[in-house]
Amino acid sequence: MGIEIERKFLVSGEGWRAAAERVQTMAQGYLNDAGAIERGSQRASVRVRIEGPAAFLNIKSAEPGRSRQEFEYPVPVQDAQQLLALCVGGRIQKHRHYVRHAGHLWEVDEFGGDNTGLVVAEIELESVDEAFAHPPWLGAEVTDLPRYYNLALATRPYAQWSHDERDPAARR
């Protein structure tokens, strides 16, 4: 088990593309829906992800705040394909670009499918108060907006968002 401390931002412009070191195609789904966690009938999300030639089962605690317990186990890709078929909600497809800036590695997720148009950048920190430089292409922070969780995007993708919801200043 690890503790994951992550912050998430929108991305403005294309400035990050030139700095991307590599890109990884990802397909993922969830065995639970976002509603189960909202209703309190589940306390962790269970994600299946195929990441290039590898696949992982991931369990993340649903806790308020920016720090979560995270468990990740490799599984055979063939199992992951069958597990994806058992997932509820839609399948998340994205390209994850790895972009280094001022000593930190950013993950810039460019979504496809029903979430096309959404691009977010995530940074993983060692502690909740770790300082980091904001690259020029970084937009508004959305860490605390549940609609940007991948789990939420599986149930209610970006294509279904209202104009207001696409404005991160809309606080919920």
Please, which of residues 48-77 interact with a second copy by CB under 8 A? Answer: 57, 59, 61, 69, 71, 73, 75
The residue (of 37 and 123) whose beta carbon lies closer to a second copy is: 37
The residue (of 71 and 117) whose beta carbon lies closer to a second copy is: 71
Q: What is the CA radius of gyration of the chain?
A: 16
Q: Pick the catalytic residue: 30, 73, 148, 158?
A: 30
The 8-class DSSP code of residue 9 comes to: E
The residue (of 1 and 18) whose beta carbon lies closer to a second copy is: 1
Angstrom distance (rounded) from CA 129 to CA 98: 23
Check if the beta carbon of residue 110 is closer than 8 Å to that of residue 94: yes
CB neighbour list of residue 64: distance below 8 Å, 6 or more residues apart: none
- Contact pick of 18, 41, 129, 131 for a second copy (by CB under 8 A): 41
Size of the site for a second copy (CB under 8 A): 25
Angstrom distance (rounded) from CA 75 to CA 10: 31
Check if the beta carbon of residue 17 is closer than 8 Å to that of residue 34: no
Please, which of residues 77-136 interact with a second copy by CB under 8 A? Answer: 78-79, 82-83, 86-88
Angstrom distance (rounded) from CA 154 to CA 47: 11
Query: Which residues sit opposite 28 in a β-bridge?
Result: 49, 92
Closest by Cα among 7, 3, 2 to 104:
7
The residue (of 11 and 34) whose beta carbon lies closer to a second copy is: 34
158 is known as an active-site residue: no
- Contact pick of 32, 50, 99, 152 for a second copy (by CB under 8 A): 32
Q: Which spans of this chain sit near a second copy (rule: CB under 8 A)?
A: 1, 31-33, 35-36, 41-44, 46, 57, 59, 61, 69, 71, 73, 75, 78-79, 82-83, 86-88
Residues taking part in catalysis: 30
